Every structure is written in C-alpha cells, then in structure tokens.
C-alpha cells in the first residue's frame, strides 16, 4: 500500500468556519501575536492567554469537519495515510483520520507550564468542562496551560513528521502558505520519486524544482479534483 502524507494548514479548517490567524480579518488582527502566541506573552499575562484559548476551544465545538477533512480521511481505504497538520483543532480526527501528527499542539488538551511536553502532564479536556482556570494545577503542580506550541518554543513533533515525509510516495499540501518554519521545511525531506500536490486557491511561493502540481482551489474542491484526476482510489 502506497504511503500518502497530507500536510495541512489553516486553509484546511477555514472551510469549517475556524478563523485563520494570518489572513485579513484573522485572529492576529484582534490580538498581537506576541501577546497570545508566545511564551513571553503567556508569562506576562497567563490569564489573558488562557482565556483566549478557552474561547477558541468553545468555538471549536460549534464547527464540524468540512468535505475536505472527510475526503482526506476516506483515503485511508486505499493508502497508508498520515496527516501532518499545523492546525491545533481536532477536525481531522472528527472526520475519521486515524494517524494525525499535530506540529503546533492540540487545542483540546492542556499541560504543565513548567514541563509542557511531559506526557504525564498532558490531559484531554472534556467537552462538558472545556475551560482551563487560573489556579488549576497540572500533575507536576504547576499552572495548567494550553497544550499549544507557541512562538519561541521547540516543536517536538517535527522529528516524527520528518520521518513520515521521508517515507512518503505521495505528499499533498493543503491550505498552508509554506512560510511557517519548521513545517515549511518538510518538503525538503521528500524522496526523489515522491509526487507532490499543492491544494490552495492562492499563489504560493515554493521551490519549483520539486515538481509540485498546484491545484488552485480550496480544500474541499481541491480534494475532489485530486481524487478525480490525480490520485486513483478504488472506493468511489
């Protein structure tokens, strides 16, 4: 079975109604980046940052996977599929994808302020009790914080992601500007015979020597075209 790796970004979840950070009208315009998405911002005002992510978590419960998410999950019937996502939502999992690597953390989880990557401190927040509260402790006794990789923090899942990219027969990039590192560097690890497809309605800067096939459509429409014209499936 061929190995198919998806690399997804904010454009994947935008069709589900989740605000993107970088686009015009996105979340960055409402909050300075350093205030809500850096370790320095968190240490300066943990309550503001915790409440920001509490709000985003509540928003996540109100949205559903888009057709693009569902089509990605459906590819598991014909391929050995890994999803590497820059998104912190759980929409790939809700759509049925079973192997998802989250590069930037997971919104529905919380962890320790002192040891954010210690598995003993990472918990999944129940849907009926989503909010992290000031004074709520992680297993190591420090303040519970969002399980999000902020600017200035290491990206512990980048090594597993590189390992998957190196083994891929086909890589499909969906809805990412390929400007955010280290995720943007992942295409540098593809094998010489790997086919690469990019699904994004916008013009995206990339290394043209990689031979990328650019499908200039949104996530759902682009996935439909990918399946119809480029990647054969038996389950239709």
Count the domains in the chain.
Answer: 1
Q: pLDDT, tens digit, for every residue of 84-104?
A: 999 999 999 999 999 999 999
Look at residue 128 and tell me if it is in a domain: yes
Q: CATH number for the domain including 61? A: 3.40.50.1220
**CA distance between the termini of the chain:** 17
- Whole-number pLDDT of residue 65: 96
Neighbours of 207 (CB within 10 A): 11
Look at residue 24 and tell me if it is in a domain: yes
Look at residue 175 and tell me if it is in a domain: yes
Look at residue 150 and tell me if it is in a domain: yes
Residues with Cβ within 8 Å of 4's Cβ and at least 6 positions away in sequence, in order, are 75, 79, 80, 81, 82, 168, 169, 170, 171, 172, 231
Look at residue 114 and tell me if it is in a domain: yes
- Structure tokens of 66? 């888009």
- Whole-number pLDDT of residue 216: 95
Please say if the pLDDT value at position 184 is more than 80: no
Q: Kindly list the distances between the CA atom of residue 175 and the CA atoms of 83, 220, 230, in Å, as whole numbers in the listed order.
A: 13, 10, 18
pLDDT-based confidence at residue 44 (cuts at 50, 70, 90): very high
- Among residues 92, 104, 208, 214, which one is catalytic? 104
Check whether the bond before 138 is cis (ω within 30° of 0): no
7-17 burial, b for 16+ CB within 10 Å, e for fewer?
bbbbbbbbbbe
DSSP state of 226: I
CA 119/CA 111 separation, integer angstroms? 8
CA 33/CA 109 separation, integer angstroms? 21
69 is catalytic: no
Pick from 22-36, 111-125, 166-180 the range whose average pLDDT is largest.
111-125
Please say if the pLDDT value at position 29 is more than 60: no
pLDDT-based confidence at residue 33 (cuts at 50, 70, 90): confident
pTM recorded for the entire structure: 0.91
Look at residue 211 and tell me if it is in a domain: yes
User: Strands, DSSP E only, in 95-190?
Assistant: 100-102, 105-112, 123-124, 144-148, 170-174
Q: pLDDT, tens digit, for every residue of 141-180?
A: 999 999 999 988 999 999 999 999 999 999 999 998 777 6
| Cβ atoms of residues 91 and 108 within 8 Å | no
Look at residue 235 and tell me if it is in a domain: no
Domain that holds residue 100: 3-230
């Amino acid at each position: 079975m061929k190995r198919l790796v998806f690399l997804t970004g904010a454009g994947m979840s935008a069709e589900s109604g989740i605000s993107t950070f970088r686009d015009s009208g996105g979340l960055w315009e409402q909050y300075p980046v350093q205030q809500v998405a850096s370790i320095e911002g968190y240490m300066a005002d943990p309550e503001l940052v915790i409440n920001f992510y509490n709000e985003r978590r509540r928003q996540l419960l109100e949205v559903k996977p888009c057709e693009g998410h569902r089509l990605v999950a459906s590819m598991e019937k014909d391929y050995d599929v890994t999803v590497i996502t820059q998104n912190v939502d759980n929409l790939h999992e809700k759509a049925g994808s079973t192997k998802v690597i989250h590069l930037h953390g997971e919104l529905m989880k919380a962890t320790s302020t002192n040891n954010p990557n210690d598995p003993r401190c990472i918990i999944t927040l129940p849907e009926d009790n989503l909010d992290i509260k000031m004074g709520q402790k992680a297993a190591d006794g420090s303040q519970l914080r969002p399980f999000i990789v902020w600017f200035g923090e290491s990206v512990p899942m980048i090594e597993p992601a590189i390992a998957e990219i190196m083994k891929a027969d086909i890589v499909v990039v969906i809805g990412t500007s390929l400007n955010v590192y280290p995720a943007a560097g992942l295409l540098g690890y593809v094998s010489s015979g790997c086919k690469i497809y990019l699904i994004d309605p916008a013009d995206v800067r990339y290394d043209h020597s990689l031979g990328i096939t650019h499908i200039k459509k949104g996530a759902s429409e682009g996935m439909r075209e990918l399946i119809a014209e480029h990647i054969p499936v038996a389950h239709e």
